[in-house]
Structure formats: structure tokens, C-alpha cells
Chain A
């Protein structure tokens, strides 16, 4: 699967005009020929494809074309922690806020809290993070002077990016959690649990929440993969040296090995998280069993 993704990406990169060395100033023919020879770009495409695939199957994406002397693997592992730190924090924040808000809204359906939190969630979903980011910067960096407006460094610098990134996920999770909980709370086995004489708290924590959160789990698996890998526009706005901004830049630079490396890495990451999600269904909901 990952190899198919890599092949498609390779084809798309090759179809895009321009190369990693093209610049405003045209290179002398001799210099261009030297570069092509060095990187094997003078060979027929099927040979280049073969060489590329051979290397990838050995787990070696080679060196970045733009950042000479840096290997693709090294670049990915160097920048993953930045994206992952912010991603995991944002994920936890989104989960806590989203599930709490969604569950309470479901328990107190049609209350003021329900309407309030669901309106806030709708707003959170509608405002993209590159709009929310600058608004938060304006308020917290220039009016209140609480947090720095951008760049990596210290806990204070994490607050705005994490909140910005978490907002849209929290909103989505809140809506999913509310819908899931509402459905579960009306189901037969909850009625049975209540009929057994369990307290409302026990019903909620031991029975309802496990079933009610299934939609949340199936959403958050791939979401976590995306969060870990970094969000391109958002990272550029906050000048965070994460994988997302590197990915965007590698495409603009036509840095083929780096593009392929990041795409392969992301597709593997997404597959792993989907697998984890599938397994966790079984753990959460006794009705789902894998034979």
C-alpha cells in the first residue's frame, strides 16, 4: 500500500515542471549537465524509478537534493519531535475538552450548556486554524503580552500553537461524543443497566462511555496520525520547525527524495493508527469481537 502511494507521488512529482535547482537565474548548460549526471537525472525514467524503488525497499530514501549532506531519514526524525510534541498535547487537550463537553451536553440534552457548547463547537469547526492562530496571537501576544507570537522555545511558546491546533479537533470530538452518547444512552443495554439498579454514575462510567465513544475513537486514530505529522500552514504561521512545514517546503523545492520519504512515512503512520483503532474497538465494546 505504502509503495503504491510512493509510486503515485513519484509520478506526480515527475509530472510537475521545474526541478530542485531551477532558479530565477538560468544555470549555464555545463553546470546543469553536471547536476543531472550526478543525480542520475540523465538516465531513462524507468531506470530512475527502479533505482528509487530499490533504495526505498531497503529503507533508504537517500539524501535530500536541496539540503546537501543531509539524509531524508535524518531530516524526518529530526523534525518529527516538534510536530509530535505539539500534536500529542493538542490531541490530549482536544480529547479532554471535546469528550467532557460532548458527554455533558448529551447528559443535559437541550439545556443551556448543550446549546452553548454545541454553538461553540460549530464555531470551532468553521474557523480554520490559520484564522484562529492570528486572532489568538493578537489577543495573547500583543494585547496581554502573555505568550510569544511564534517560534519554538519554552513552555510558554507551546500554548498558542497547541490551543489553535486543538480547537478544531475539540469541536469535532465534542459533536461526535454528544451524538454517540445520546445514541448509547437510549439503547437497550443502558436501560438494562439502569433496571439493574446501578447508579447514574456507574451507568455512565462503566457502560455508556465505552460505547458512546466509539465514533470518537474511529475519528481520533487518523486524526492523531495527522496531528503527529504536523499541519503545514499552521506550522508556518507559528514558525515551528515541524514535519508539516518541511513537507510543504520540500514540494515547493521539488526535493523529490524528501517528498517521497515524508509521504511514505505518513502513509505508514496512518496505517498503523488505523490498525490500533480497529483493535481498540474490540477492547471498548464487548459486542465487537475479532475472530
Chain B
């Protein structure tokens, strides 16, 4: 008996104790979520997502890696912490040719690698040649394809040479317009600005097919010799140690913004040549960003420290950053609550926590991102080869209702997200007004009419509809398995059932199984796509449907759209260009190759003492602006206003950096 009673006592004691503890903790920290104490050692602890594939900035294509590279590597330009617009980095200033097809960069002479070696224009030439080299296996090299002959070099293509002359595009009937150049004339420059050469497939069999398909080419290639495109042929030139010229094959007004991407950041030639693929190991690695590697513990922590060799080391505020790779969202939330981390990556608040987290006004941020979700429609398979059928399904979706239901997203009713490119939004409004506001948008009544016109009559049965002739059993809506994707799919399924009387079967698949289904157009009907912009220009979204080998996964090839895009991108006046792009966008929207769904939002948290870190369109942080504020009086409050708010320290630092850029010639 005695032993029983004492056991009961212990139990009761334990219960009371734990209840007390629970009471204390929740009342003590109502303003902030969990333990909120600025770390004394000035080292930021950040959950970075999946384990980084490699520390080589030119190879992987993931976002977790991108954020780590921002700490370790620098390029010609960097991102503005709020807008992601390009700001001077290793280039202090630049000039742009009137045709926006050539850029001249003036480099700072104080740039150094982490081993103390100076960074010169030659290092940029090396880095870009290496990035495009087929054996580097870069998965982001295609971003650089506007650079002259880079695509040909990357694809192992060959020039066609007869005697001493090369076959040119204009020989086959292409047109060539090259505006004025910029910078001094050199031997290389003469070559790169001469009429563009024809480049054919490097593989003999494929080339033979290519030649056989085009009689003009066949005649021209008769008895010709094929010369491989070399690294030295791409349009990147070191004019002197601190002047770099990049020549493009056509005008690309968005190119400058693209140069902040990791692919264009400098890599160390000596180290790579000496160690080969082992160059990114702790004992070998040489970097050039604000931080350098201190410790690599795969799947546990990647620790970086301020690099005293960095040209702007005096303005790097943190002593170091600890990147924690992690897959489980709830684990990251636990660490955040326990005060063991200071911030985590975007989209990492689990759906079930969002409602509660919204209450933490000084920490939770949900800002629109340059990232969209939509359903691609396979236009190659019936019934969706009929544009009217596609339009009916697009018109039957109410995106506003979807976003109200989803809570963390904003409605997407066009192709490029709204709220990310302010000037483009204005241009789009103007074009929409020109079109009389008659653009493809939610209209259930019209959707039923369109579907009926397409040959699938929609019948009204009381308050519901049905469409008995529609081949529902042959189509499906595919998505990769995840809680939020399922919610969206069920919501849209319900809308189609209510508005068209069609119940589209849902099909979910594991991510890597789903991808080839979509990329290779094996699906019939709809497949979910999530697209994140690579740079801050609408072209990164509209370009999805551009060209023959486009990334839209819809099977559509539309020469009219391609022409509209080419014309827009060779327009030098930014405002006019935006209007032309907007026309192309509404044209493509009307082709109804996608069902627009949502603009994704950051769904992100950081502790209030972490400053200089913003929910910008990519949640990409230029880490040298980030600092830890010890004085609670200066902590971030009400982060809904964080983008409009002012931080004198960040603003001064930014102004000092931007001041080196002269007024640019040309546009932008």
C-alpha cells in the first residue's frame, strides 16, 4: 500500500510541475514566439533547408545553395537587399551599349580572394568560360545563353568552315542588326561583333539529320569542315586587368540583373586547376565573398566567418553565420521557439502553425515573391488541343477564392506575378485598358458558354451543372505529393465541378516521379508547376513559353508569341518594352496554356533582433547588410511595414556602395 501511495504522489507532483512550467513559459513571452534573446557572439544561426549539394556556385540550381553562395562568393554586381535590383559589387561601375547588347564593366582594384590573391578581369573570363564548359555540368548555364556563342560552346556545337571563311547566319537568310559597340576596338572584339556564325550539333549523327532537314544548309555545308566552338569564342573579354566586356548575341535589357546570379560569380582558377573536383573541400576551398569557410559538417552545420581579405570587410557586420541544413519544418520551428536559431528559410512555417504565427507581428512575414503556381495544360493531347476547351477551364477558376482559402498566397490571374515589378504592373494596367479589359479571367457563365461552343454542351440540372459528353475519364490533374498541393487541387476540382459540371480526377505522385511526367508531356490535362524567377524582370516568367525547347511543359510552340517577345526585348525604352511584354503576356494568357493559380508568398519568420534582412521577392539575403541588434529598443516591430520602413545603417551602407556607379549610358 505504502509503495503505491508514494508512486501516486510522485505522479501528481510531476503533473503539477509540468503544468506550472507550461503556465510560466506561455505568460512570459506573449509578444515574441518562444525564447527571444539576441546572441552575444554576433554569429547568426540560420536554417538553410536541404543539405547543400556542393559549394561550387556554378553547378547546382537549388535555392538553399544560392543563399550560401551569397555569403561565400561575389560577382560583378550583387542584390539590393530590398529590391534585388543589381548594385555594384566587384564592378564599381558599368556602361551599356546603346543596343543593350554589350556591357563594359570597370572593376575595383581592391577585390581579393580569401587566399589574398587579387581578382582581375581575367578571373571573370576564366569563371564564365568554366561555367559554360560542357564538363562543368552546370545546371544554370542556360541563364548565360544571351552571351555570344555561350550556348554553342555549352552544347558542344561546331562552326561550319569552308576554306578560310565560316558559314554565317545571314548566309542562310537570317537578318543581322548590330548597333554601336562600347569600349576600345580589339582583335577579339572584331571577331565577336562580326556577323554571327552558324553553329551545328557536335554529334555527327544529329548534325547529319540537321543538315538533311534544310536544303540551304545542305548546299552550304557540302565539303565543309566542322570546327568545335571553343571557350575562347564566347563573348567575354578582359580588356585590361580591371576592365571587362561582355558581348551578347541580341539585346537583353534584363541581363544586368541576371549577373548577380550565382552562375556569374567568380571562382578561383588556381584552386580548381590544382584540385579538380576536390576544390570545394574545406582544406582546399578558396572563396571571395564577405564570408569564408570555417567548418563543414555535412547534414549538421556549415559555418562561415568574416573574411578579412574581402574588399568591404569593414562593412560586414556579422562575425559569422552558421547554416543548419534541415528538412523537417516542425524541427526548425522547435529550434526557433527554443531560441536555438535566429531565422529560417522562406516557406518553412508549416500550414498548421500559420494561424498562430500570424499573431507574432514582429516576426512573421508574408510578402509576395517572384514565384508563381499554375497548372500547365498539355496542349498536344485532346481535348485540350482545342483552345476553347482550355479557355473554358481557365475561366471556370476563381483565383481570388483560392487565395482566400489558402491564406498564405495571393491570387495570380495573369502569367507574371503582380506586386513584384511595379513599373511593369503599370504597363500591364495600361495594356489591359487598351484591350477594353477583355482579358481571359474568371467568369463561370462565360466558361460554360465557351465549353458548349467547343462541342461539349454544359447542361443545367436545377442548381448544378453537368457536361456528359466531356471525356472526363481520359484526363487528370497531376501534382507532386504535398499537403498544400492537395488542398489546391481539391479546391480547383470543386470549382470545375460547380462551374462546369466536370469532376477532373486527381493524381498525386512523388516529386521525382512527377517531374518527368510533366517535362516529357506524359500527362493528359493538367500538371502543377511552381516557377521561381531567376532575376527581377517579367521576362523570367514570360520566357517560359518562348522558343521551341521552352520550359512551359505545355507542348506549345507559338512563333507569333516568340516574335512579340523578340520585338519587346530589342526595344530600348524600358516603358515601351514593358508595354510590349504586357501585350505578349495577354496574348499568351488568351492561348490558355496554363491555369494561373497563386503568387507565392514568403511565409517566413526571423527574430526581431535580426536586422537588415528583408522578405524581398526571392528571400535572397546579401549577408553583409545583416546584423544583430543587442538593444531591444531598436528591434524590428510590426514587420508588415518592414519593406517601407527605414533602417539608417542599411541605407547608408547601400548609398555608399551605389555611389560608385556613374550615370549609365543607354537604358536601365
Q: Chain A residues in contact with chain B, CB under 8 A?
A: 16-19, 21-31, 33-35, 38, 63, 66-70, 75, 78-79, 112, 134, 137, 139, 141-145, 148-152, 236-239, 241, 245-246, 249, 252-254
Given A22-B519, A239-B326, do A112 and B4 touch, yes or no (CB 8 Å)? yes
Given A148-B338, A236-B328, do A26 and B512 touch, yes or no (CB 8 Å)? no
Q: List A contacts of B338 (CB < 8 A).
A: 141-142, 148-149
CB pair B515–A18 under 8 Å, yes or no, is yes
Minimum CB–CB distance for A140 against chain B, Å = 10
Sorting the interface of chain B by its residue count into under 10, 10 to 19, 20 to 34 or 35 or more gives: 35 or more
Given A22-B512, A24-B529, do A79 and B21 touch, yes or no (CB 8 Å)? no
CB pair B53–A69 under 8 Å, yes or no, is no
Complex Cα distance, B276 from A63, in Å, reads 14
CB pair B512–A31 under 8 Å, yes or no, is no
Minimum CB–CB distance for A120 against chain B, Å = 12
8 new A-B contacts at CB < 8 Å, known A24-B531, A142-B22, A237-B330: A23-B62, A24-B530, A67-B298, A141-B338, A148-B338, A151-B335, A239-B328, A253-B512
CB pair A17–B516 under 8 Å, yes or no, is yes
Q: Is B278 an interface residue (CB 8 A)?
A: yes
CB pair A30–B155 under 8 Å, yes or no, is yes
Task: Describe A's contact surface by its main secondary structure.
Answer: loop
Q: Is B281 an interface residue (CB 8 A)?
A: yes
Please, could you name 17 A-B residue pairs with CB atoms under 8 Å apart, sorted by A?
A: A22-B512, A22-B519, A24-B515, A28-B154, A28-B155, A29-B155, A31-B142, A68-B53, A142-B25, A142-B334, A149-B338, A150-B331, A150-B334, A151-B300, A152-B300, A239-B326, A252-B512
CB pair B512–A16 under 8 Å, yes or no, is yes
Q: List B contacts of A144 (CB < 8 A).
A: 17-18, 21
Name which of B132-140, B169-177, B180-188, B468-476 contacts chain A.
B132-140
Complex Cα distance, B151 from A69, in Å, reads 26
User: For residues 257 through 273 of chain B, which have their beta carbon under 8 Å from a beta carbon of chain A?
Assistant: none
CB pair B53–A249 under 8 Å, yes or no, is no
Q: List B contacts of A34 (CB < 8 A).
A: 134-135, 137, 154, 156
Q: Chain A: which residue is nearest B328 at the CB level?
A: A236
CB pair B299–A19 under 8 Å, yes or no, is no
CB pair A69–B154 under 8 Å, yes or no, is no
Q: What is the number of contacts between chain A and chain B, taking CB atoms within 8 Å?
A: 154
Q: Chain A: which residue is nearest B532 at the CB level?
A: A24
CB pair B281–A69 under 8 Å, yes or no, is yes
Minimum CB–CB distance for B591 against chain A, Å = 20
Q: Is B558 an interface residue (CB 8 A)?
A: no
Q: Is B327 an interface residue (CB 8 A)?
A: yes
CB pair A31–B330 under 8 Å, yes or no, is no
Complex Cα distance, B279 from A33, in Å, reads 24
Q: List B contacts of A149 (CB < 8 A).
A: 331, 334-335, 337-338, 340
Q: List B contacts of A33 (CB < 8 A).
A: 155
CB pair A237–B18 under 8 Å, yes or no, is no
CB pair A237–B139 under 8 Å, yes or no, is no
Residue with the highest number of chain A CB atoms closer than 10 Å, among B25, B137, B151: B137
CB pair B300–A28 under 8 Å, yes or no, is no
CB pair B139–A78 under 8 Å, yes or no, is no
CB pair A151–B324 under 8 Å, yes or no, is yes
CB pair A22–B335 under 8 Å, yes or no, is no
Q: Is B357 an interface residue (CB 8 A)?
A: no
Complex Cα distance, B513 from A252, in Å, reads 10
Q: List B contacts of A249 (CB < 8 A).
A: 50-51, 327
Contact of B277 among A68, A134, A141 (CB under 8 A): A68
Given A18-B513, A149-B331, A241-B297, do A23 and B139 touch, yes or no (CB 8 Å)? yes
CB pair B298–A78 under 8 Å, yes or no, is yes
Q: Is B13 an interface residue (CB 8 A)?
A: no
Q: List A contacts of B508 (CB < 8 A).
A: none
Complex Cα distance, B296 from A69, in Å, reads 14
Minimum CB–CB distance for A236 against chain B, Å = 5
Complex Cα distance, B156 from A67, in Å, reads 25
Minimum CB–CB distance for A246 against chain B, Å = 6
Complex Cα distance, B135 from A68, in Å, reads 13
Given A17-B513, A17-B517, A24-B515, do A137 and B334 touch, yes or no (CB 8 Å)? yes
CB pair A26–B334 under 8 Å, yes or no, is no
Q: Is B232 an interface residue (CB 8 A)?
A: no
Q: Chain B: which residue is nearest A67 at the CB level?
A: B53
Contact of A238 among B18, B151, B331 (CB under 8 A): B331
User: For residues 148 through 192 of chain B, which have their beta carbon under 8 Å from a beta carbon of chain A?
Assistant: 151, 154-156
Q: Is B551 an interface residue (CB 8 A)?
A: yes
CB pair A141–B515 under 8 Å, yes or no, is no
Q: Chain B: which residue is nearest A238 at the CB level?
A: B331
Residue with the highest number of chain B CB atoms closer than 10 Å, among A21, A27, A78, A139: A27
Q: Is B61 an interface residue (CB 8 A)?
A: yes
Complex Cα distance, B60 from A35, in Å, reads 12
CB pair A26–B331 under 8 Å, yes or no, is no
Complex Cα distance, B337 from A141, in Å, reads 10
Complex Cα distance, B517 from A253, in Å, reads 17
Complex Cα distance, B516 from A21, in Å, reads 11
CB pair A69–B278 under 8 Å, yes or no, is yes
Q: Is B494 an interface residue (CB 8 A)?
A: no
CB pair B18–A139 under 8 Å, yes or no, is yes
Q: List A contacts of B243 (CB < 8 A).
A: none
User: For residues 114 through 155 of chain B, which have their beta carbon under 8 Å from a beta carbon of chain A?
Assistant: 134-135, 137-139, 141-142, 151, 154-155
Q: List A contacts of B549 (CB < 8 A).
A: 28-29
Given A68-B56, A142-B25, do A254 and B531 touch, yes or no (CB 8 Å)? no
Q: Chain B: which residue is nearest A39 at the CB level?
A: B137
CB pair B512–A18 under 8 Å, yes or no, is yes
CB pair A26–B513 under 8 Å, yes or no, is no
Minimum CB–CB distance for B384 against chain A, Å = 20
User: For residues 329 through 370 of chain B, which have their beta carbon under 8 Å from a beta carbon of chain A?
Assistant: 330-331, 334-335, 337-338, 340
| Interface 0/1 of B507-525, CB less than 8 Å to A | 0001111111101000000
Complex Cα distance, B334 from A148, in Å, reads 9
CB pair A148–B18 under 8 Å, yes or no, is no
CB pair A22–B516 under 8 Å, yes or no, is yes
Complex Cα distance, B278 from A254, in Å, reads 22
Q: Is B488 an interface residue (CB 8 A)?
A: no
Minimum CB–CB distance for B8 against chain A, Å = 12
Complex Cα distance, B50 from A68, in Å, reads 15
CB pair A68–B54 under 8 Å, yes or no, is yes
The 7 closest A-B pairs by CB, nearest first: A18-B512, A30-B155, A241-B299, A149-B334, A143-B21, A69-B277, A241-B300
Given A144-B18, A241-B297, A246-B299, do A23 and B515 touch, yes or no (CB 8 Å)? yes
Q: List B contacts of A38 (CB < 8 A).
A: 135, 137
Complex Cα distance, B141 from A57, in Å, reads 37
CB pair A245–B331 under 8 Å, yes or no, is no
Complex Cα distance, B62 from A228, in Å, reads 31
CB pair A148–B340 under 8 Å, yes or no, is yes
| Interface 0/1 of B492-511, CB less than 8 Å to A | 00000000000000000011
Q: List A contacts of B529 (CB < 8 A).
A: 24
Q: Chain A: which residue is nearest B512 at the CB level?
A: A18
User: For residues 267 through 307 of chain B, which have their beta carbon under 8 Å from a beta carbon of chain A?
Assistant: 277-281, 297-300
Given A18-B516, A245-B299, do A237 and B277 touch, yes or no (CB 8 Å)? no
Q: List A contacts of B517 (CB < 8 A).
A: 17
Q: List B contacts of A134 (CB < 8 A).
A: 330
Q: List B contacts of A28 (CB < 8 A).
A: 141-142, 154-155, 549
Q: Chain A: which residue is nearest B154 at the CB level?
A: A30
Given A69-B281, A78-B298, A142-B337, do A254 and B512 touch, yes or no (CB 8 Å)? yes
Residue with the highest number of chain B CB atoms closer than 10 Å, among A63, A78, A143, A241: A143
Q: List A contacts of B278 (CB < 8 A).
A: 69
Q: Chain B: which residue is nearest A63 at the CB level?
A: B277
Minimum CB–CB distance for A186 against chain B, Å = 28
Complex Cα distance, B297 from A128, in Å, reads 29
Contact of A19 among B25, B297, B512, B531 (CB under 8 A): B512
Complex Cα distance, B61 from A258, in Å, reads 20
Complex Cα distance, B156 from A245, in Å, reads 38
Q: Chain A: which residue is nearest B19 at the CB level?
A: A143
CB pair B59–A68 under 8 Å, yes or no, is yes
